[in-house]
Structure 1
């Protein structure tokens, strides 16, 4: 794109210099309407579009408006070739006489985003370029009385074929120009105040140019022919268009600076009104402010939010503090949004601290609610397990002992069998009660500490586990219990879901915290909120003022890390 723009600018410059150098030798009498003023105005137009377009592209290379302006400037320069006496150059100038209007239509339809959005603008664009390209077949059948030494492209003159080509050409241009006027005026009506201040000069002047061009086309269709005054007025207005674009760029920068200044003033009066200040000055009533807390976005009440819409992140001192969710129309002014957001970053950071506190309180309430629910569910499970397991075996034991006592004298062999069965039931009941007790709090953890309990977990794991513990003394009991269940749940998930061949458990002290890492080489893709297991562990760790972190990129294994303060609340 840069090379194409450079070549187009060089082309406009070379043609302009050549025209100015040959101005004294040009025969202006043979030109239909206009003369020496048209030549000088044309050079100004070509250079103006090329220069302003190159500047606009350098400033905003992602926006095609600058490239389109350079294209218009190059086409206008080629149009000016009809001032020369050479037949071929004159023919090229006649061809681009209409194509430059097509390029101007393209520029106005695409301004200010550089894109063609909407069905009717696309129709107008196709019609404009089709009409411009019809100039070539028109020259093949139409004698050019103004061409020096005749039309070099003429194959055979035919008024009928020329009319067949000229009529649709005029209709297509008429449709393209009228549609462009409607689109331009509608765009002005629907733009925000800041946008209107930036491109209003271009749109209004463009509407005037299109209107004059429309009058010119109509006069050609009805064979009236444009007058010298109309030609000069059209080209003089055209010459102002690059200045209008430049004025639009300057006004955009001015209004952006003013808007950022007003944001700062409003925040100085009301530091809490970040959202209202930005929404007012950016002209977007739908704008919303989100805050970055604990690796996710939350609203001002601390509730988690998934951004929906165009997002602009806000940073303060290199850290992400939040984001603006705004209307996609503001995408045409990304610098304005970023500068306004930067002006509000300090106030947003202060608000973020308050929101972070509310978010933590909200998370604590939810966590406590889940803990209560989990506790109730666990009690119901224990009741069911006791009823269906150990309780039934103890009832069977009582019945067998009763029958054995009744048959002890009369049938000693039968009584002995009943006692053997009762002893087996007693053993099973003791085993089930031991398993239940281990699920509540494993005995090995109380008696021998976390290292021994983790060794027991590793030995029973379905996946080979490497254990690395650097604890030189026992941790507080609540911390040991939480660490044990974090490892137990994580290893269970590794065996069930990870398709891993190896796992590693590491326990260490770090800056007043117990840090427990469980890594595997499985498929990854785990998330804290997707299952009740990891979420329950998060609640358990959070109850001790700790934090649970899960890193699980797809195909790269999973890391579950728990950080628990050693002085738990």
Structure 2
């Protein structure tokens, strides 16, 4: 059985015991000496109990529910200092806690809606409330009151009494009324200021309960002000009227909390319905659109944490900048220690903890699912970026090797060939071996130049793809139909060049290149069998492109598509 049901049952039992105690000596009972007082006593107390039972069902409001139970118990306790009771324990509790209800309700209002006192002024007011109502007005006054010496020989024993000093008891009671008046005015000002300065979303969520609480505290403050002249809280006709106003305000407070629970349930069902309606057709933007529609912010963003760093991405794995720009705010959604997502929205939408709880209750599973999907997309993008960096590094290494061969080994071989030629010219006799060495050396230089061009042609880096392909066509059976004389990223140009070079080796080849809509497309057609293009297919896939081949009779057409924007971004990373 949930603890709140046990607390509710205890509160009902407490109310029935209170009625029995009040009837023991009707003349000392505020409820029974006031018109419709018994209805006010039970109505306000049971309303608080029902409100605590309903409000405590919400996970984020369990502390507030416990404070409401405490306020309901404190509402019944002023009847317990009735001299007609035969229990000294009950009588002593009544003396100590007869003024504690405003402190309990004040604690609840200061901690509403999450049940935690969020600021030092709120904590100071809560502590001051208990210290004044229980410490000064309750135990402090009772410490100098012995009913038997004050003409009540049949009264139960006061366990708090340490001395019989009626004048000091009166002084302490007067001090308690004065301090209580100041405390109530400070509490009213603090709660009103917090309500006025809160965001529109927070006012919509907490405004009605706070107005009802302010009404209750105003009635209690009026009762304290009415008691300032006499120096103690009494029970005359005006006090009875103010007490009934307090009971009505507490009933309205409980009703407003129940209304808030119903509204929260409707909001949760609405959001849940929106999420469910997405069904299996959900796209990376549908959940964002559903939550944006629910919160009324079309520019809302959902940022999911990725990895152990501070990287956040949206549902399509695009980076989201945090903290947000000026005019926007970020709200982190958590479940326990798990960081589910961060919403970037306009200020004031999720200032209330209850609004965050409603959002999590309705869309947590959908957010978790999309977070895992975004994380997998981010990991895939990181893998592709890593592959693109490897491709770029390979191109750089080929360029370095080509430069080293051209500037190093090739130059040395050319110098050696010149030395052999000079040596042969100076020789007076035929030198067949020098002729053979010179021929071998020239062949070595020719092969070295061909190897360097195969690694990475200089023209590709200096003049671009079109010029490099034209130079390649001078040494091969290569017909160039159309290649734009524009520059692309290094990795795209080198990929197309390697494809054409591989396919045109020892084959009649035709090539055309065009670029549109952020994509470069190269069509290469060869006669005869297609060479092995596995490594190039892997390279193109790494760059988020595709390689397609189609064969008809003895002709094969290969189409390579490369995204220009993606390839450029990855090569820079």
Verify same fold: TM over 0.5.
yes
Closer, same or farther: CA 216–255 of 1 in aligned 2, 3 Å: same
Contact 1:311 1:325 in 2 (8 A): no
Closer, same or farther: CA 482–42 of 1 in aligned 2, 3 Å: same
Residues 215-234 of structure 1, C-alpha deviation per residue, up to 9 Å, x if partnerless?
33344454344452333233
Q: What is the distance in 2 between the residues matched to 1:79 and 1:251?
A: 29
SS for the counterpart of 2:115 is coil
User: Match for 1:481 among 512, 517, 536?
Assistant: 536
**Does residue 402 in structure 1 map to residue 418 in structure 2?**
yes
Q: What is the distance in 2 between the residues matched to 1:324 and 1:66?
A: 31
Tell me how far 1:63 sits from its aligned partner: 4.2
Larger Rg: 2
**Does residue 138 in structure 1 map to residue 141 in structure 2?**
yes
SS for the counterpart of 1:328 is coil
Structure 1 segment 471-510 matched on structure 2, within 5 A: 480-483=535-538
Contact 2:401 2:455 in 1 (8 A): no
Q: What is the distance in 2 between the residues matched to 1:435 and 1:136?
A: 99
Contact 2:302 2:315 in 1 (8 A): yes
Show the counterpart of 2:193.
Answer: 186
Tell me how far 1:106 sits from its aligned partner: 0.6
Show the counterpart of 1:12.
Answer: 11
Q: What is the distance in 1 between the residues matched to 2:111 and 2:530?
A: 67
Closer, same or farther: CA 228–167 of 1 in aligned 2, 3 Å: closer
Residues 477-511 of structure 1, C-alpha deviation per residue, up to 9 Å, x if partnerless?
5554243x5xxxxxxxxxxxxxxxxxxxxxxxxxx
Contact 1:116 1:122 in 2 (8 A): yes
Show the counterpart of 1:239.
Answer: 247
Tell me how far 1:183 sits from its aligned partner: 3.2
Structure 1 segment 113-124 matched on structure 2, within 5 A: 113-124=114-125
Gaps of 5+ in 1: 265-271, 314-319, 350-355, 448-473, 486-536, 547-565
User: Match for 2:25 among 21, 24, 27?
Assistant: 27
Residues 311-337 of structure 1, C-alpha deviation per residue, up to 9 Å, x if partnerless?
579xxxxxx999775643143134754
Tell me how far 1:107 sits from its aligned partner: 1.1
Closer, same or farther: CA 16–335 of 1 in aligned 2, 3 Å: same
Gaps of 5+ in 2: 275-284, 324-329, 335-339, 458-493, 504-528, 549-557, 562-573
**Does residue 329 in structure 1 map to residue 351 in structure 2?**
yes
Tell me the matched-pair count: 428
User: Match for 1:206 among 210, 213, 224?
Assistant: 213
Show the counterpart of 1:470.
Answer: none
Alignment RMSD (CA, Å): 5.8
Q: What is the distance in 1 between the residues matched to 2:399 and 2:85?
A: 106
**Does residue 389 in structure 1 map to residue 405 in structure 2?**
yes
SS for the counterpart of 1:389 is helix
Contact 2:64 2:108 in 1 (8 A): yes
User: Normalising by structure 1, what TM-score?
Assistant: 0.57
Tell me how far 1:195 sits from its aligned partner: 5.4
Q: What is the distance in 2 between the residues matched to 1:14 and 1:278?
A: 45
Q: What is the distance in 2 between the residues matched to 1:158 and 1:393?
A: 114
User: Normalising by structure 2, what TM-score?
Assistant: 0.57
Closer, same or farther: CA 568–230 of 1 in aligned 2, 3 Å: farther
Contact 2:49 2:72 in 1 (8 A): yes
Show the counterpart of 1:102.
Answer: 103
Contact 1:143 1:154 in 2 (8 A): yes
Residues 152-200 of structure 1, C-alpha deviation per residue, up to 9 Å, x if partnerless?
4211134686578557645653444223212332343345666545544
SS for the counterpart of 1:310 is strand
Contact 2:78 2:98 in 1 (8 A): yes
Show the counterpart of 1:151.
Answer: 158
Show the counterpart of 1:85.
Answer: 85
Tell me how far 1:52 sits from its aligned partner: 1.9
Q: What is the distance in 2 between the residues matched to 1:247 and 1:478?
A: 73
User: Match for 1:253 among 259, 262, 284?
Assistant: 262
Q: What is the distance in 1 between the residues matched to 2:222 and 2:415?
A: 111
Show the counterpart of 1:456.
Answer: none
Q: What is the distance in 2 between the residues matched to 1:285 and 1:161?
A: 62
Closer, same or farther: CA 175–8 of 1 in aligned 2, 3 Å: farther
Contact 1:307 1:325 in 2 (8 A): no
Contact 2:67 2:104 in 1 (8 A): yes
Show the counterpart of 1:463.
Answer: none
